Amino acid sequence: MTGHSARWKLFKFLKVLLFSVIFSITVLFLVATVRTFTFDVDAGLQLGKWENTTAISLHLSPQQRKNLLNTSLTSAIQIPTVSFTETNVNTSALREFDGLLRKVFPKIFSSSLVQHEMVGNYSHLLTVPGSEPDLEPYMLLAHIDVVPADEADGWDAPPFSAQEINGFIYGRGTIDNKQSVMGILQALEYLLERGYTPRRSFYIGLGHDEEVNGLHGAANIVKLLKSRGVKLQYVLDEGLAVLDGVISGLDGPAALIGISEKGQATVKLSVSSAPGHSSMPPRESSIGILASAVKRQENPMPRLFGYGPERGTFEHLAHKFGLPLRFIMSNLWLFSPLLSRVLERKPDTNAFVRTTTAVTMFNSGVKINVIPSYAEAFVNFRIHSAQTLQEVLELVESTVSDERVKVELVNGFDPLPISSYDENTFGYQIIKKTVQSMFPQLTVAPGICVGNTDSRHYKDITQDIYRFAPSWFKPGDPQRFHGVNERISIQNYEEIVLFYFQLIQNNDVRKLPPPHSSQHEL
């Protein structure tokens, strides 16, 4: 009887436990389902009553469109403003580019409104004072220099020809970043031609060495602004773009506005040992010891998805996915571990999940029959927002775990602070409004830049830095960035000019309208 009673109590316990599990799963499923069909954090200020500031519209004649392309963008692409290293930039091309700007934009360089200064010999700082000096200024950034390009790599057109093929202009700098350089200045030129005077002051900074860390261009522009006590409402630089068909499963294109960028570290690993003859090799050579240490570095850094701004990207896009992806994206509080495992399978999405590791250089040996006494390798890390430079270095040391291997930090910096992107954030909402007024079909979301930009130098004079230009990327286009067949469509360049034309005027609002949530209180 006692045994029967014990079994009955165990059965009742298991029954209650099973019921509790089923009930919990059912509740979780119902909560997740309701959230899936109601979750939309991208609404923002769509229903807000904005102050109308776009007083000047832009209508271009066929001849103006032709001039916009041939005398502006193509001429800029044809000048090879290549940066090779921090100490090796094409200074003659930079001087030629300066002459082009003065020729193509006569209103800017003759206007009594615009103050122009050369900084670091080849960079440009333009100051455009507003009629209401109590409004905090903002700043638009772009860079003049480009990375090297060789036609022998397989270009369909010479990389500095600006040749048109099927409605696209091919050339180095078409998407990185002369489209923004010329787009910003062309927009300002058009506004000045139409008698525009801003209410809110703004600056334009055009760096000449962004591709080699911006230490002479952007860094000196910031130094000059700091000496004048300048504080900025926000900064807008290159970075993310409009992705059309690039994100699998997303219904329609999305504009991603970069709210931060990853940090970076370059670490040198080296081994010194006694040299010898190849006929009598030691058990372990300097190359072998180093190769083992480098191999250990290929073990991925910890998954950190959900601990940085990348989670906000997917949550803002959730309502534009079809099932079952919408169910997952709307409930990352539950499915973050699952999504992170999926994302890490591809190199381009793995960058969202963790600090990435890339062994980029390995040097050793002087002769075929000599055991080298020295070997070195360089490893480049792009640091996730949830980690610090110091934490990465400590992980490298623990992973190497060999006293014979010397670990040295060559250079590096922490991830950039995360800029605000809520309904009360001026810069983000102005950019978002401009994007949505031009492209109503777009979904706008915050994003993280896996590369680095000149904007990182500006963190001491503003709290909010955004990284975006409305360049349209379709499948395969992201690989053109620093790659072969970099190009931009003629239509897209016109859209970029119009974007900055409207953005400058949109910045003239004194304040944002009340947020969506405060207008519809129950």
Q: Span 44-71, mean pLDDT?
A: 78
Give percent helix, percent strand, percent coil of the chain, each to the nearest 5. Answer: 40, 20, 40
Say whether both 162 and 270 belong to one domain. no
Report pLDDT for 521.
36
More confident residue, 333 or 224: 224
51 falls within a domain:
no
Report pLDDT for 520.
38
Say whether both 385 and 458 belong to one domain. no
Say whether both 169 and 300 belong to one domain. no
Say whether both 406 and 265 belong to one domain. yes
Give the residue ranges of the annotated binding site for Zn(2+). 143, 176, 211, 237, 482
Last residue of a domain, one of 370, 397, 413: 413
Rounded to whole angstroms, the Cα distance separating 423 from 438 reads 20
Q: Span 53-72, mean pLDDT?
A: 83
Give the residue ranges of the annotated binding site. 143, 176, 211, 237, 482
Going by pLDDT thresholds of 50, 70 and 90, the confidence category of residue 34 is low
Say whether both 91 and 233 belong to one domain. yes
Q: What is the pLDDT of residues 118-171, one digit of tens each?
A: 999 999 999 999 999 999 999 999 999 999 999 999 999 999 999 999 999 999
Structural domain harbouring 273: 261-413
Say whether both 91 and 216 belong to one domain. yes
Rounded to whole angstroms, the Cα distance separating 296 from 288 reads 13
User: What's 435's domain CATH number?
Assistant: 3.40.630.10
17 falls within a domain:
no
Number of domains in the chain: 2
Q: What is the pLDDT of residues 275-309, one digit of tens each?
A: 998 899 999 999 999 999 999 998 899 999 989 99
Using only C-alpha atoms, what is the Rg of the chain? 27
Say whether both 394 and 345 belong to one domain. yes
266 membership: H or E segment, kind and range: strand 263-272
Last residue of a domain, one of 364, 389, 413: 413
Last residue of a domain, one of 381, 413, 445: 413
43 falls within a domain:
no
Say whether both 192 and 237 belong to one domain. yes
Going by pLDDT thresholds of 50, 70 and 90, the confidence category of residue 519 is very low
Say whether both 367 and 443 belong to one domain. no
Say whether both 102 and 227 belong to one domain. yes
516 falls within a domain:
no
329 falls within a domain:
yes
Say whether both 212 and 276 belong to one domain. no
The one-letter amino acid at 317: L
Going by pLDDT thresholds of 50, 70 and 90, the confidence category of residue 502 is very high
Q: Span 175-202, mean pLDDT?
A: 97
Q: For residue 159, is the peptide bond before it cis, meaning its omega torsion is within 30 degrees of 0? A: no
216 falls within a domain:
yes
Q: Six-digit token pair at 164?
A: 């048109």
Catalytic positions are: 145, 210
User: What's 337's domain CATH number?
Assistant: 3.30.70.360
Is a pLDDT exceeding 50 seen at residue 522? no
Asked if residues 268 and 378 have their Cβ atoms less than 8 Å apart, the reply is yes
